[in-house]
Structure 1
Amino acid sequence: MSAKLEIANLNKRFGGLVAVNDVSFNLEPGEVVGLLGPNGSGKTTVMNMISGALACDGGIVRINGTDITKMKPHKVARHGVARTFQLVRPLPTLNVSENVMLALAFGKQRHWGRTAREMAEDKLAFVGLAGRGQEKVGDLTYIDQKRLEMARALASDPDLLLLDEWLAGLNPSELQIGIDLVRHLQDQGMTILLVEHIMEAVRALCSRCIVMSAGEIIAQGACSKVLQEASVIKAYLGDDHA
């Protein structure tokens, strides 16, 4: 349950705006790495290109040596890549279990019927929603919607998990629950790329981090060192704090 991610010279333009400019980095199997930067720095665009939601204008994305750069999202998923999104968007006409069952049809292995139902319950139990599969998604609290989002991502049996601000909007006690859940995946050897603004979570979970600003990587390395670099402080707080 781990993958090697290789990104080389990734580029993306939106008209005259360069959103991602020549971005390159690797994740080793089992690593949890933070992809950081101020709003608008290109982090989510990188996530979208890895997952196939956006086409690249240049560069290469490889998972376990396989080039997935031009694949559609459902094919990327079959190569072991799953993600969460900044905004949780469960399917409101389906119950909690059915939301997870739908994801089970698009992973490395396709599952249907009773097998899918049983596997969905296993994923829900893993994220802390045991026995709640028949509930309406609209009745879930925010943290439980986040749990459901994680269960859907894990349902595809990923080797690489992309977490896009999954911990955002949680209160302190909920944040600790979220950190513990990601740490559980970390202990199981999952490879995770984590986009996050909550430094408490980054320091708790990430062995190293990659910092972007204006579409480019400005620093990468051990979190304790990178977060103290003048270029990183300037990107987040401005010249007066650098």
Structure 2
Amino acid sequence: MSAQLEISNLQKRFGGLVAVAGVSFSLAPGEVVGLLGPNGSGKTTVLNMISGALPCDGGTVRVGGADITRLKPHQVAKHGVARTFQLVRPLPTLNVAENVLLSLAFGKHRHWGKEARDRVEEKLEFVGLAGRGQEKVGNLTYIDQKRMEMARALASEPDLLLLDEWLAGLNPSELRIGIELVQHLQGQGMTVLLVEHIMEAVRALCSRCIVMSAGEKIAEGPSAEVLQEPAVIKAYLGDDHA
């Protein structure tokens, strides 16, 4: 089976700083894989290059076999890629349904009128916001803002979902809700690349992990094994714990 996502020798520099140094990995269709590493290791930069938010300085990004390396974000979305961000970015002048509706313009297929409204309500129901489309986004709790952002990403009908610390900042009960939502996506066969620091979520969701440190890939493999590797422990906790 061909890879849903394949990145090869990906590179990014910011002036003299090498943020990503020759990173390569792939995701099979339906996999949920963790992209881990300490702050500043280059994880979000990798997501930004996959989604087209940042140009690559070297390497290639392929999604479903298509080379998307040089495409802009709206073009990448047409290839079935959607993402969330570390900080929720709602459009405050629009209500919940309108925030989700807007993403339909950037997905793989165009939807209009009642079909579009029905699709929005379907996504809101899936994330637990059924019947709340007319609410102002400013009135949503933090977990409900996260739900709305997920609905917005899913409305574009992605084959590959990039979650950038989507579970960050949730309390324990909210975290469980968030994990269950991603597990529902797993059950539907969604391919997910998950940047996350919460190990409870990583262990619950990711059969496999890729770990970065200082812009380089330092480990890859089954989650339980990777999280025990001395190089990974050293990257997170320092030499005294390795």
Q: If the length of structure 2 is used for normalisation, what is the TM-score?
A: 0.98
Question: How far, CA to CA, are the matches of 1:217 and 1:106 in structure 2?
Answer: 31
Question: How far, CA to CA, are the matches of 1:165 and 1:30 in structure 2?
Answer: 20
Does the CA contact (< 8 Å) of 1:30 and 1:192 recur in 2?
yes
Secondary structure, counterpart of 2:86 in structure 1: coil
Matches within 5 A, 1:97-116: 97-116=97-116
Deviation of 1:116 after TM superposition, in Å, equals: 1.3
Deviation of 1:3 after TM superposition, in Å, equals: 6.5
Per the alignment, residue 39 of structure 2 pairs with 39
Per the alignment, residue 77 of structure 1 pairs with 77
Letter in structure 2 aligned against 1:123: K
Per the alignment, residue 193 of structure 1 pairs with 193
Letter in structure 1 aligned against 2:60: I
Matches within 5 A, 1:66-145: 66-145=66-145
Question: How far, CA to CA, are the matches of 1:201 and 1:44 in structure 2?
Answer: 18
**Aligned: 1:181 with 2:181:** yes
Deviation of 1:105 after TM superposition, in Å, equals: 1.0
Deviations 1:96-138 (A, max 9, x none): 0000000011100022322211111110000000000000000
Per the alignment, residue 213 of structure 1 pairs with 213
Question: How far, CA to CA, are the matches of 2:47 and 2:66 in structure 1?
Answer: 17
Deviation of 1:230 after TM superposition, in Å, equals: 0.5
Letter in structure 2 aligned against 1:122: E
Deviation of 1:14 after TM superposition, in Å, equals: 0.2
Question: How far, CA to CA, are the matches of 1:88 and 1:113 in structure 2?
Answer: 27
Per the alignment, residue 147 of structure 1 pairs with 147
Question: How far, CA to CA, are the matches of 1:97 and 1:118 in structure 2?
Answer: 10
Letter in structure 2 aligned against 1:180: E
Per the alignment, residue 6 of structure 2 pairs with 6
Letter in structure 2 aligned against 1:113: G
Secondary structure, counterpart of 2:106 in structure 1: coil
Per the alignment, residue 15 of structure 2 pairs with 15
Structure 2 vs 1, CA of residues 109 and 102 (structure 1 numbering), >3 Å: closer, same or farther?
same
Question: How far, CA to CA, are the matches of 1:86 and 1:113 in structure 2?
Answer: 32
Question: How far, CA to CA, are the matches of 2:48 and 2:61 in structure 1?
Answer: 11
Secondary structure, counterpart of 1:105 in structure 2: helix
Moved over 2 A (4+): none
Question: How far, CA to CA, are the matches of 1:222 and 1:17 in structure 2?
Answer: 30
Count of paired positions: 241
Per the alignment, residue 227 of structure 2 pairs with 227
Q: Aligned-residue CA RMSD in angstroms? A: 0.9
Unaligned runs of 5+ in 1: none
Percent identity (aligned): 82
Deviation of 1:211 after TM superposition, in Å, equals: 0.2
Deviation of 1:239 after TM superposition, in Å, equals: 0.5
Secondary structure, counterpart of 2:197 in structure 1: coil
Letter in structure 1 aligned against 2:107: G
Question: How far, CA to CA, are the matches of 1:16 and 1:117 in structure 2?
Answer: 48
Does the CA contact (< 8 Å) of 2:12 and 2:20 recur in 1?
yes
